[in-house]
Structure 1
Amino acid sequence: MEVFPYIRTVDMVSSNSYVLSARDQICLIDPGGDDGQMDRLVEVIGELWEERARPVLIYLTHVHVDHSFELSRGDLLEGLGGAAVAVQEAGAVSLERGDPAMTLSCLLGREVAPRSPEVRLLSSADLAAPGRRLIELGRGAAFEYETASFGIGDGVVLHRQRVELGGGDALEVYHTPGHSPDSVCLRAGELLFLGDLLFASNPGVAGIPGWSRADQIGSIRRALWLLEGGEVLQCCPGHGRPMEAGAAKKTLCRLLQYTLSLGDPLLIDGGWAREAAEYSAVALRELERLFTIIAGRLILVSSVLEDLGEGEAAREIEALVDSGAVDDLFSRWHDRLSSCRGGGLLEIEVVHEAGRIVGKLEGLFDGGGVADLFEDHLLRRAGRLLNDYMVTYRGFRPPQCLRAEDLTSILRGSIEGFIRRPRPGDQILEAETEEEWLRALKARISYVPLPERVSVAFAGSGGLPPAVVDGERLTDLVIDILERLAAGMAEEVAIGAFQEGEGVLVRIAGRGRGIRDPFRRDELRYLERSISLCGGDLVAASGGDAPAISIRFSGDGEGA
């Protein structure tokens, strides 16, 4: 049996495809979703058919449109006697209905016409009465197979169909649901075709319609069992390059542990993709602002140290964050976002691109390495935003610690955190070692005296009821708002907390000559989400020369 792989750069348009040429059958595994790719596959199949005419069967690892969309151009094979489609029974039902959810056409922006497959692999009827079957496909072609099921341990059952291809070759089909109910793996001799099994637990994938954590865990164990036999030497995924069986086994073992650790993600559908794409734009804009602050201050510290003759210390500062790599990531993001706005990218592609960028930013950001140079609340905000985005990207809700707390104490603590000034000058004089002196010097250079530009006053009614809030998130949010007002040239900021029904209303307002509005639309979108994660609701925001923001928190007794 000859194998003709079509391996493409990983994207969401199309899967890899594989053509198998056996004595009695030509097999096409996953026609994919790209016209040019399908044209090339038809050329290969046509040449093989001209050498020896035999039935052509299209096997789907599952019906997602990146694997199956080119079925709509199956007429290209009519001159070769046509092609029958073989797909697991659940996928056959989805194709017959043109199901936009189960084919992911709604998520990937491609309309699927209903189609009735000729062969239902691993059907309930076959599993109920296993054995040999023969399906007449017309034009003298037939599909002969044998069904069997057996336990492989830990209560996991492997369902298999063996299709004879002639000349001693066979194609074995295994039901491996999880990524989708109809997912299968196929084995041809030393090759195991995995479909999307390796990616089914990935962020932005786990949670798609039909995804099942329990099924995915079972299917990973099925694939590992197949590899344990030693007959498979190479694994061919639906996306990406083939890998040796040993490497695939290690990947599957890691995947199993990760999948076991997963909870139940949110449903990844068109609505989720829209919201996640919007959040991607908001989160990446704020991350760019934070990383610009961090990188800018590191450059300042490095430059001053260099001027002071502390070249080695300056180079150590430069190495803390790769500013060039950070700039490249955000430049790439802006290019991709522009492409999306121009109609060149799907929303789900934007989400995945943002996920890749945030993942790389996490790798570049070492909060511990810069802890002596920045305010702890700034580093917490950056670290938390990176984490919140990745949690959202994985299909879960960011963690909250909501409980009844005294808002007056939290707000006063936030003000103290904002106006607190470090003691780098004193520490420079008190340093007993060169290391201590350098640490204090770097902190002094990095310090930005924003709090010294503005006076902050707190006023509130007494006896406020406890409010349901995430105290740490709210503390950092209030400091963030104060910094934005100070950077916008506010001279005075008033923070008030007042009882409103059973809840508490917090108002933060700035005043000053030439004050700039820190609550523009883009900033408000980020702040509104941050407020929600604190447990509050943004009820009002005003800009102009009197910027103010009002947040309502539920009382401990509300909603009980």
Structure 2
Amino acid sequence: MLNRLENDISTIPNISIFNKECLDVSMWHGLDLVEEAHRIFPVIAGRLMFLGFQLEELGMVEEAGRINSLFEYESIDLCLDDFNRFYREYKDGKKVKPEVVMKILQIFVRIQTLLPIEDLSGILNVSLIRRVTRLFSDFLGTIQGIIPEGIPEVIDLIPILQKFIISGNSSGVSDSELICAVDDEKLYRQAMVNRLAHYPHTLHISYRLRISDDTKCPILIRADMDRFYDFLAAISEYFEEISVEIVDIYIKTESDGIWVILTPEGSDLRYEVPIPGATQREVTYVGGRLMSVMEPGKEDIRIVFPSVN
């Protein structure tokens, strides 16, 4: 992996030839991704730690030991702390923007070498794995002057939303799958690990899906399927963070496309917590346009996607 990263870095043009606009985009996008890293890696560490604890409780000590040894969170946390120190020096006037951009790249390279992606892929949600791997690839593209973009395709919006809601309430591995695996100890233990590792992203939130009367199904939009699903997972984590209890998803057709309006509800919503910058940017990479975010007087998130006639 390190050789591949070194090869990738060798293709990056010298930062000194960047114009101011490109440098600004690279820096602010990079800061958004560092902020995302600060959120996503504690999530991974917490889920693996809890999984290891559950396995130990069930007497699956060998599996617990393997899980606990997979992820070097302390080392990754030190990398992020190193960047925070560096960025404070920039804020104090001791560093300049090109140095900050290169420092972000350095930190992501270090983190990539610490991540056993293949091992984690068999345990963590595939959406979470995709979001982790994009931290580096999206920033690498930006620093090369290539704005990240998805691979748009025609997708049927309602089944995707329904799949997200249903999968968020599922157990990952069904009871019948566990029963079928019980005669094969290795297969059964792996199934148990997968069952316990599954994190239902709608565990604490209920979703309500509504469609305007004048919108006809199927509702076809042009968007990147994987990035759209990953955006839903990211925004769900944000909703959980601000104490959302119910999310109303309202779909309507307008002259400029298909509107998706997400309205969170709850008894103690924390509107002061902003939507992460990386999550907002992801809407563009998905293929949509973010029309509004939650703020006083606008207590919903509005996204419009190009429709397919």
> Is TM > 0.5 for Structure 1 vs Structure 2?
yes
* Residue equivalent to 1:551: 303
Relative to structure 1, the CA distance from residue 549 to residue 333 in structure 2 (aligned partners, 3 Å threshold; closer, same or farther) is: same
- The 1-side partners of 2:183 and 2:270 are apart by 44
> Is 1:452 paired with 2:210?
no
> Is 1:335 paired with 2:107?
no
| Letter matched to residue 455 of structure 1 | S
Q: 1:305 aligns with which of 39, 55, 64?
A: 55
| Letter matched to residue 138 of structure 2 | D
* Residue equivalent to 1:485: 239
Q: Counterpart of 1:419 in 2: which secondary structure?
A: coil
Relative to structure 1, the CA distance from residue 545 to residue 434 in structure 2 (aligned partners, 3 Å threshold; closer, same or farther) is: farther
* Residue equivalent to 2:137: 387
- The 2-side partners of 1:308 and 1:473 are apart by 36
Question: How far is the alpha carbon of 1:373 from its aligned partner?
Answer: 2.6
- The 2-side partners of 1:280 and 1:524 are apart by 13
Looking at both structures, which has the greater relative contact order when contacts are Cα pairs under 8 Å and sequence separation is at least 6? Answer: 2
Question: How far is the alpha carbon of 1:312 from its aligned partner?
Answer: 3.2
- The 1-side partners of 2:127 and 2:279 are apart by 16
* Residue equivalent to 2:3: none
| Letter matched to residue 460 of structure 1 | I
Pairwise CA RMSD of aligned residues? 2.9
- The 2-side partners of 1:547 and 1:278 are apart by 26
* Residue equivalent to 2:39: 289
CA contact (8 A) 1:372 1:439 kept: no
| Letter matched to residue 281 of structure 1 | L
Q: Counterpart of 1:463 in 2: which secondary structure?
A: coil
CA contact (8 A) 1:418 1:479 kept: no
* Residue equivalent to 1:277: 27
Larger CA deviation: 536-545 vs 295-304: 536-545
Q: 1:320 aligns with which of 61, 67, 70?
A: 70
CA contact (8 A) 2:108 2:135 kept: no
> Is 1:504 paired with 2:255?
no
> Is 1:419 paired with 2:172?
no
Identity of aligned residues (%): 21
- The 1-side partners of 2:164 and 2:35 are apart by 24
Q: Counterpart of 2:168 in 1: which secondary structure?
A: helix
Q: Deviations over 1:306-339 (max 9, x none)?
A: 4555443233112322122111111111111111
Q: Counterpart of 1:552 in 2: which secondary structure?
A: strand
Alignment: residue pair count: 299
After superposition, residues 26-65 of structure 1 pair within 5 angstroms as: none
> Is 1:351 paired with 2:101?
yes
> Is 1:440 paired with 2:191?
yes
> Is 1:205 paired with 2:14?
yes
Relative to structure 1, the CA distance from residue 299 to residue 324 in structure 2 (aligned partners, 3 Å threshold; closer, same or farther) is: same
Relative to structure 1, the CA distance from residue 345 to residue 454 in structure 2 (aligned partners, 3 Å threshold; closer, same or farther) is: same
Q: Deviations over 1:270-313 (max 9, x none)?
A: 22112211111110111221111111111222334345554432
* Residue equivalent to 1:32: none
CA contact (8 A) 2:141 2:148 kept: yes
- Structure 1 or 2: larger helix share? 2
Long gaps (5+) in structure 2? 1-6
| Letter matched to residue 520 of structure 1 | V
| Letter matched to residue 474 of structure 1 | F
CA contact (8 A) 2:83 2:107 kept: yes
Q: Which has the larger radius of gyration?
A: 1
| Letter matched to residue 414 of structure 1 | F
Larger CA deviation: 352-361 vs 362-371: 362-371
- The 2-side partners of 1:200 and 1:436 are apart by 40
Q: 2:226 aligns with which of 459, 472, 486?
A: 472
Relative to structure 1, the CA distance from residue 304 to residue 344 in structure 2 (aligned partners, 3 Å threshold; closer, same or farther) is: same
Question: How far is the alpha carbon of 1:399 from its aligned partner?
Answer: 4.0
Relative to structure 1, the CA distance from residue 269 to residue 201 in structure 2 (aligned partners, 3 Å threshold; closer, same or farther) is: farther
Question: How far is the alpha carbon of 1:545 from its aligned partner?
Answer: 11
CA contact (8 A) 1:467 1:556 kept: yes
